[in-house]
Amino acid sequence: MRDRKEARKKAHELVGRMTLEEKASQLRYDAPAIPRLDIPAYNWWNEGLHGVARAGVATSFPQAIGMAASFDRELLGKMGEIVAVEGRAKYNSSSRQGDRDIYKGLTFWSPNVNIFRDPRWGRGHETYGEDPYLSGELGKAFVEGLQGDGEYLTAAACAKHFAVHSGPEALRHEFDARVSKKDLRETYLPAFEKLVKEAEVEAVMGAYNRTNGEPCCASKMLMEDILRDEWGFQGHYVSDCWAIRDFHTHHMVTDTAEESAALALKTGCDVNCGSTYLHLMKAYQEGMVTEEEITLAAERLFTTRFLLGLFEETEYDGICFDRLECTEHLQAAEQATAESVVLLKNNGILPLKREGLKAIGVIGPNANSRAALVGNYHGTSSRYVTVLEGIQDLAGEKTKVYFSEGCHLYQEKVESLALRQDRISEAVSVAENSDVVFLCLGLDETLEGEEGDTGNSYASGDKTDLLLPQSQRELAEAVIKIGKPVIVLNMTGSAMDLRYLQEHADAVVQVWYPGARGGTVVAKMLFGEISPSGKLPVTFYNSTEELPDFTDYSMKGRTYRYFEGKPLYPFGYGLTYGDVRVEQVSCCGRAFDGKDEAEAEWDGSEELTIAVKMKNEGMKDTGEVVQVYIKALDSSHAPINSKLCAFSRIFLKASESGEISLKLDRDAFTVINDEGEKVEAGRRFLVSVGLGQPDERTRELMGKGSISFIAVKK
């Protein structure tokens, strides 16, 4: 694909011509120019979580958690490719003008493959959800799309935040995430390992916190023993921003900035997002670091720059400004939104029929909100289409569309001089005068996100519970009380307590943060032009009372693999407008229809191949996600519930049949023991194939279950 050996040789030669001070200067995220060597300035900090971010206009995709709900590897790869192409277009344009500012480079600090282990974590919507396998598969696809397969890297991806990092945000600068060897290897590391070993991700970013006592940006266990020695990582390591400063100001593992810089560098942190590496020369003068250690980090960084072709002509130099928000890219973003929306409840009201509708009510603080479209780490769109605007565009000339904000997103009133809940009466009037109501609730990046970036300073971006803000709960009750059909659109990046809405609304839709123009696609879905087909990448619990303490990093009682209760909505769940059913599963020469529990024998030396026959017995064309789960029956080290081990998308027209084949790799038949070792899991495995988990709640909500059989190693 590209010649790392040659790039490393060129980096060695170029760095060898630098003075020690020049080498040290290149380890900053805002590396200055070295004019005498014709090296331009380079800023390593760029973001591309769901579209090129913070650098002006770019195609806007749904937030990462919405992309995860698509369960679509190809789509994630396409998004990565688009981020890289638009990033190149911006880089080519800005560098020609001598603009080497932040967010203008080709090193994107994405994806975030941390495990969304607790729904209170504010940054969870940046991730691909709670499952290590899903996160690894989608993260790998994104990295491969972003980095491309040409002579040079199209752009460089970065797997973050390494490792064992998922809140609380308020404590992240001082927190020590204590984790067992089993949980580390079974849950927190697999996605990173897949991105390093299979996708050859070019960079890894360390987390703010400590893991088992060591700061993640200076962890011998994580950075040396596992990342480089065990996994063979060849790229560069970057600190999270100002994380190295935390060594002496919060973690108290060092006393001075010089000691912190030295500790990070000696452990293998090559580039410092922050300012602590400004103290490297003093650390060198005091004998804390060697020139060889500074040289090694500089060579790693210049290897990446040579792999990107930044010092020579490349096949990407002709990517022009007109690729930004081009038709092809906008269509891909529209497809992403369509596949990300998850239908949680539907009593038959959806898809909504336009005929006979005289008036539609659109109510709620997120109905006409641009902030609720984009999540965090977002770019700028040349056009935004809110849910209200999408509905207005599709409702038709004969249908009146009423709108009321209903309430403030989280405060008790909209107008500062007004009385409490000053928009509720208007919302009630809208409901009274409408045939059907769309109630648009949820959060946005001001309430859930990264510490320091949100307005909910009381929780530093995290949630204290799973409830919608009080203002919205009161609005929902007032609107539903009117008695008109109500369709709830929940725009959040995380699981919420939707029990009241599940009980009282006619339909509930998880919209996530659907992208800048997402309102158009959401409206098309509501009116039946598109069938929803997303699946939940996280468990929706009933309340935080069911969960362990937020600071407890043990997986016991967490996520669908270890949760022992009955969730509100399970991981992997989502309805469609069609009625796709798994009719038959074939494996090892045997066919299963779910009528009896049967066994299939295989020698265990190869991947297990499963053929799945399906039929859409409904009246609507729809996409669906076939999911395969495994439970090791002979091992005490297996998760208490079946784990996802394969998935694939399929599209079936009404009354159409189809067949797909899925492969289960050998890892599916292993477990992690208490010492963190991957071992064989015995001879007998319960294999379940369906459109969700093989659990009671999924069967209850979907009205259909999985086909299961026992795979037995000979």
Going 471 to 475 to 476 to 478, the CA torsion angle's sign is positive
CA distance 168 to 552: 10
Per-residue burial over 13-26, b if 16 or more Cβ lie within 10 Å, else e, is: ebbeebeeebbbbb
CB-based contact 616:590 (threshold 8 Å) = no
d(Cα 209, Cα 217) in Å, to the nearest integer? 9
Catalytically annotated residue among 200, 202, 325, 448: 448
d(CA 2, CA 95): 23
Going by C-alpha positions, the residue among 643, 632, 608 that lies closest to residue 682 is 632
- β partners of residue 560: none
Q: How far apart are CA 182 and CA 674, in angstroms?
A: 5
| Contact present, 582 and 707 (Cβ < 8 Å) | yes
Say whether 246 is catalytic.
no
Q: What is the spatial distance between Cα 262 and Cα 130, in angstroms, rounded to a whole number?
A: 35
Q: How wide is the angle at C-alpha 334 spanned by C-alphas 76 and 128, nearest 5°?
A: 35
- Cα–chain center distance at 590: 37
The structure tokens listed for 503 are 């009980």
- CA 525 from chain centre, in angstroms, equals 22
Residue 705 falls in which region: left (phi positive, over 0), alpha (psi -120 to 50) or beta: beta
Contact 644, 690 (CB under 8 A): no
* Residue 452, both tokens: 């320091």
Q: Are 110 and 178 in contact (CB under 8 A)?
A: no
Does 552 qualify as catalytic in the annotation? no
DSSP 3-state of 228: helix
Give Cα separations from 106 to 110, 336, 581 (angstroms). Answer: 11, 23, 44
* DSSP label of 591: E
Which is the catalytic residue, given 240, 334, 389, 445? Answer: 240
Beta bridge partners of 651: 623
Integer angstrom CA distances of residue 4 from 194, 234, 619, 700: 19, 9, 53, 53
Q: Compute the distance between CA of residue 107 and CA of residue 122 in angstroms, rounded to an integer.
A: 25
Measured between alpha carbons, how far is 119 from 116 in angstroms, rounded to an integer? 7
Q: CA 270, CA 583: separation in Å to the nearest integer?
A: 53
The secondary structure of residue 365, as a DSSP letter, is T
- Core vs surface per residue 451-471: b (16+ CB within 10 A) or e: beebebeebbbbbeebbbbeb
Rounded Cα distance between 451 and 459, Å, is 8
Q: Which two tokens stand for residue 687?
A: 């294999």
Within a 10 A sphere around the Cβ of 383, how many other Cβ atoms? 11
Q: State the catalytic residues.
A: 240, 448
